[in-house]
Amino acid sequence: MGENLQKEFEYYIQNQGWLVSKYRGRHIVIKGQAVIGDYDSDMEAIEETVKHHELGSFFVQKCEPGEENYTHTFHSRVSFA
């Protein structure tokens, strides 16, 4: 995860409580440590946000309580058999 996206993820973690109270079940788009949109699905969030923001410049997270719902991005060349 890039440094900017890491900051957006940390923003989500730090504010998860009030974000869930406002956007529970929605897929929120975070950029500049602010919510810039909320959508029914992650695909809708991406499709709508790329109309105005460069892909990779924003973070999409399903807004639910608990760590098990965090978005995870893994970049690896390791193959698991």
74: in domain: no
Tell me the residue range of the domain where 17 lies: 3-69
What domain count does the chain have?
1
80: in domain: no
- Provide the residue type at 3 as one letter: E
Q: Which residue has the tokens 């975070």?
A: 30
79: in domain: no
81: in domain: no
Q: Which residue has the tokens 């900017």?
A: 4
Predicted local distance difference test score (pLDDT) of residue 30: 95
The total of other beta-carbon atoms located within 10 Å of residue 70's CB is 13
75: in domain: no
Identify the DSSP state of 42. H
Distance from C-alpha of 7 to C-alpha of 74, rounded to nearest angstrom: 16
Closest CA to 12 of 75, 63, 58: 63
14: in domain: yes
**Which residue did the predictor score with more confidence, 15 or 5?**
15
Predicted local distance difference test score (pLDDT) of residue 8: 93
pTM for the whole structure: 0.82
Residue 77 pLDDT exceeds 80:
no
Q: What is the pLDDT of residues 18-71, one digit of tens each?
A: 999 999 999 999 999 999 999 999 999 999 999 999 998 999 999 999 888 776
